[in-house]
Amino acid sequence: MDNVKQVIHDADKVLMHTYNRYPIVLDHGKDMYLYDINGKEYLDFTSGIGVFALGYNDQDYNMALKEQVDLLLHTSNLFYSEPTVMAAKKLAKASAMDRVFFTNSGTEAVEGAIKLARKYHYKKTGNSGGEIISMDHAFHGRSMGALSVTGTKKYREAFEPLIGGVKFAQFNDLDSVKALINNTCAVIMEPVQGEGGINPSSSEFIKGVRELCDKEGLLLIFDEIQCGMGRTGSMFAYQSYQVKPDIITCAKALGCGVPVGAFAAVESVAAAFEPGDHGTTYGGNPLVTTAVSKVFDIIDSKNILDNVKVMGKYLSEQLNSLAKDYDIIKEHRGMGLMQGLEFSIPVKDIIAKALDRGLILISAGSNVIRFLPPLILEKKHIDKMIQILKESM
Ligand SMILES: *Cc1c(COP(=O)(O)O)cnc(C)c1O
């Protein structure tokens, strides 16, 4: 057996079968490209599902991590470390939040945000059981808490009962949110739904939800795990809507490759947590928070947000003209470098053909191709992607 067959054979025996993987064994990456163990090159328009905002193997980023590896990886949260505090300051400043809790994943960030909302409600009202309103087609993760607020029934069904008191409204329909308010403590939503099919909030909806939360005394949680960290052209998507949440969740591109997430909140909400209310062994360790700080520095020093705006516009024009030329494309949606094409047919075969031609794409649901390229991309990468996509359709 060759190496590829061997790895796939072994993986099928030893890994739990929770993913259908492509028969490709990846080995290394550089900037916009990934290479498999036979040296075949792939243009990556997924960033490893929204993670590699800076592309592969940024040298500044790698050096910072290498230096930290030789200093200290982990401290436990019983002590202070400088990288943790530095990263928290940068995240708080960039998000206009006051206090940060670092986690090891996006799912855990959502768990923490839910716990904080419940604790806040408990302190305020003296009652537990504050209800949470989430949205249809929302994706917030796979643990029991995060799954409870994930708006896709097929992900939830086999694992019920999940946490109670969760209701689902229609995304972009304010009346459907109003209709669910009861003993509610929070509304959770993605400003731009990712996994659910690249659905940006309308400006009226997101502003309307904020006003409703203010009026009813509810907390507003924005899950920016996929749409945050510059992806839509501002550091966080809510900033382009000029709406501020009470709690945010963040992960994926927060660490650009190391497993790190965070939830952050404004002071009055964060104050609901007291020592003992929440914890994590690894969360915010010096290694991952060194990465977080470096990511913020590089986004700034390389003017990444400007690039997202310029390239986002170009990508949008190109996808729009594709949508006009091909009848099988129903709609084009998105913001910045988070865009999608909805087809009238399943996109699985198109993605497989593109992969043969050296382009990595990802779906969002069965009929949407999602475009989440590294934020460092240039025009020539978009042109190449469009060319391969056309051949694959
Ligand atoms: C990916 C994602 C999550 C889950 O993050 P993990 O790191 O996979 O646990 C939650 N919310 C959104 C919006 C996501 O895109």
| 169-225 pLDDT, tens digit each | 999 999 999 999 999 999 999 999 999 999 999 999 999 999 999 999 999 999 999
pLDDT surpassing 90 at residue 13: yes
Look at strands 192-193 and 199-200 and give their pairing: antiparallel
State the average pLDDT over residues 64-85. Answer: 97
Domain boundaries defined on the chain: 3-57+303-392, 72-301
pLDDT digit string (tens) for 230-272? 999 999 999 999 999 999 999 999 999 999 999 999 999 999 9
Contact 169, 177 (CB under 8 A): yes
C-alpha 91/C-alpha 296 separation (Å) is 8
Q: For 143-174, b where at least 16 C-beta lie within 10 A, e where not — what string? A: bebbbbbbbbeeebeeeeebeebbbbbebbeb
Nearest CA to ligand 1 atom 7: 106
Q: How far is the CA of 70 from the centre of ligand 1 (A)?
A: 30
What is the DSSP secondary-structure string of 152-195? -HHHHGGG-S--SSEEEEPTT-HHHHHTT-SSEEEEEE-SEEST
Q: How remote is the CA of residue 9 from the centroid of ligand 1, in Å?
A: 29
Mean pLDDT confidence for 32-55: 98
Work out the percent of the chain whose per-residue pLDDT is above 70: 100
Cis before 373 (ω within 30): no
What token pair was written down for 84? 């943790």
Segment (H or E) for 333? strand 329-335
Tell me the whole-structure pTM to 2 decimals. Answer: 0.98
What's the mean pLDDT in 314-326?
97
Tell me the mean pLDDT in the region 7-36. Answer: 96
Cα four-point dihedral sign 32, 304, 100, 218: negative
356-365 pLDDT per residue, tens: 999 999 999 9
CATH number of 72-301: 3.40.640.10
Quote the ligand 1 centre to 115 CA distance (angstroms). 17
| CA-wise closest residue to 370 among 139, 116, 77, 135 | 139
Confidence of residue 298 (pLDDT cuts 50, 70, 90): very high
- Distance from C-alpha of 253 to C-alpha of 55, rounded to nearest angstrom: 10
HSE at residue 356, side-chain half, CA atoms within 13 A, is: 8
What is the identity of the amino acid at 60?
D
Q: How far is CA 256 from the centre of its chain?
A: 11
Fold of 3-57+303-392: Aspartate Aminotransferase, domain 1 (3.90.1150)
pLDDT of residue 322 exceeding 80, the answer is yes
Common-topology check for domains 3-57+303-392 and 72-301 = no
Asked if pLDDT for residue 277 goes beyond 70, the answer is yes
Q: Do residues 49 and 252 lie in contact, with contact meaning Cβ atoms separated by under 8 Å? A: yes
Enter the tokens of residue 95.
């998000």
Reading the block at residue 75, the tokens are: 């401290």
Q: What is the pLDDT of residues 114-129, one digit of tens each?
A: 999 999 999 999 999 9
Rounded CA-CA distance 97/245 in Å is 9
The H or E element spanning position 334 is: strand 329-335
Rounded to 5°, the CA angle 208-99-270 comes to: 65
Rounded CA-CA distance 287/284 in Å is 8
Asked whether residue 1 carries a pLDDT value surpassing 70, the answer given is no
> Taking CB atoms and a 6 Å cutoff, what residues make up the pocket around ligand 1?
105-107, 110, 139-141, 190, 194-195, 223, 225-226, 251-252, 261
Residue type, 330: K
CA–CA dist 238, 217 (Å, integer): 20
Find the 194 Cα to ligand 1 centroid distance in Å.
9
Q: Is the pLDDT of residue 111 over 80?
A: yes
Q: Which of 225, 232, 238 to mutate to test the pocket of ligand 1 (most atoms within 8 A of CB)?
A: 225
Atom of ligand 1 at shortest range from CA of 226: 15
- Crossing angle of helices 82-95 and 286-301, in 10° steps, is 40
CB neighbour list of residue 213: distance below 8 Å, 6 or more residues apart:
187, 219, 220, 246
Q: Is the predicted pLDDT of residue 29 greater than 70, yes or no?
A: yes
Task: Using the CB atoms, write b or e for 359-376: b if 16+ within 10 Å.
Answer: bbbbbbbebbbbbbbbbb
Q: What is the DSSP string of 32-51?
A: TEEEETT--EEEESSHHHHT
What is the Cα–Cα distance from 73 to 385, expressed in whole angstroms? 38
Are 74 and 282 in contact by the 8 Å Cβ rule? The answer is yes
Residue 2's pLDDT band, with cuts at 50, 70 and 90, is confident
Q: For residue 94, is pLDDT > 70?
A: yes
Of the pLDDT bands very low, low, confident and very high (cuts 50, 70, 90), residue 319 is very high
What value does the mean pLDDT of the chain take? 97
